């Protein structure tokens, strides 16, 4: 009887030890030998391994979204994705109408010289109030994002309920991402009675090793963000072609809401 009891206790101990051991060692997700990390760890349930679909899909370049109405997880393969997607956007009212500030990301595997953004401005009933158009700078490489601004002088900001975007891209180019650092960035304000512009000046320095490549038609962008991370102002400026390691820039921004942080970007074709 004692041997049987010891055997049962030992079996229970090994079972619990095995469970504890399996729980202590997390399950890894490896893609081509590279570990993929997720805030929701994989689990083994009834001898089946469950992994988070968003992490796996995005690692494979597949777009994932949740359709609440259809209660469906919608997956779109890379070849069927539009080349650019809207990361975020904000409507900012001004003294002379309103403008839409946003960020668009290149989710394709190509780089384009011509990227057009069209935005249908919708009222609460879904009717189009007006259509605004702008362009992204050339040279936004795969995985990069660029800022944009759509301006309206219609004084119909009180009617704006939603925005529907359509982004088209053409004229593929073959380049590597621009590698720069920004130095001595300064903000000054013009207190002229006729305006209240904000000027951003600084130096841009190439940090890539291939100085033989000439950055053509470079564009410097700046986005200003409030304490909650909301984009509240934007400006951009074409500068002279990079023929050396350094360049200078000056960007003029119109009067806008108070900002807390900023981010600079540089693109070139």
Give the model confidence (pLDDT) of 82-96 as tens digits. Answer: 899 999 999 998 888
- Between β-strands 261-267 and 219-225, what pairing exists: parallel, antiparallel or unpaired? antiparallel
The pLDDT-based confidence of 132 (bands split at 50, 70, 90) is: very high
Give the integer Cα–Cα distance in Å for 37 and 17: 26
Q: pTM of the entire structure?
A: 0.74
- Which of 7-16, 23-32, 53-62, 106-115 is predicted least confidently? 7-16
pLDDT of 7 reads: 41
Taken in order of first residue, the domains within the chain and their CATH numbers are: 27-81 (no CATH), 82-173 (2.60.40.10), 180-267 (2.60.40)
Dihedral through CA 83, CA 92, CA 98, CA 237, nearest 10? -60
């Amino acid at each position: 009887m004692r041997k049987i009891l010891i055997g049962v206790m030992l079996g229970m101990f090994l079972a619990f030890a095995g469970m504890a051991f399996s729980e202590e060692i997390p399950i890894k997700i490896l893609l081509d030998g590279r570990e993929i990390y997720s805030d929701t760890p994989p689990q083994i349930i009834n001898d089946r391994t469950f992994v988070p679909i968003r992490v796996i899909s995005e690692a494979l370049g597949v777009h994932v979204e949740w359709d609440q109405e259809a209660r469906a997880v919608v997956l779109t393969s890379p070849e069927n994705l539009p080349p650019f997607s809207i990361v975020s956007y904000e409507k900012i009212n001004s003294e002379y109408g309103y403008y839409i500030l946003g960020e668009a990301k290149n989710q394709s595997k190509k780089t384009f010289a011509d990227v057009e953004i069209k935005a249908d401005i919708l009222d609460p009933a879904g009717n189009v109030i007006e259509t605004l158009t702008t362009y992204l700078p050339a040279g936004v490489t795969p995985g990069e994002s660029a800022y944009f601004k759509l301006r309206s002088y219609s004084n119909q900001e009180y009617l704006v309920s939603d925005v529907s975007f359509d982004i088209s891209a053409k004229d593929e180019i073959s380049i590597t991402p621009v590698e720069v650092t920004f130095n001595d960035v300064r903000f000054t304000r013009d207190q002229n009675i006729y305006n209240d512009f904000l000027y951003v000046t600084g130096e841009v320095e190439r940090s890539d090793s291939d100085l033989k490549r000439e950055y053509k038609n470079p564009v410097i962008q700046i986005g200003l963000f409030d304490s909650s991370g909301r984009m509240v102002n934007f400006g951009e400026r074409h500068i002279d072609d990079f023929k050396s390691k350094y360049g200078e820039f000056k960007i003029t921004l119109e009067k806008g809401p108070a900002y807390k942080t900023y981010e600079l970007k540089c693109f070139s074709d």
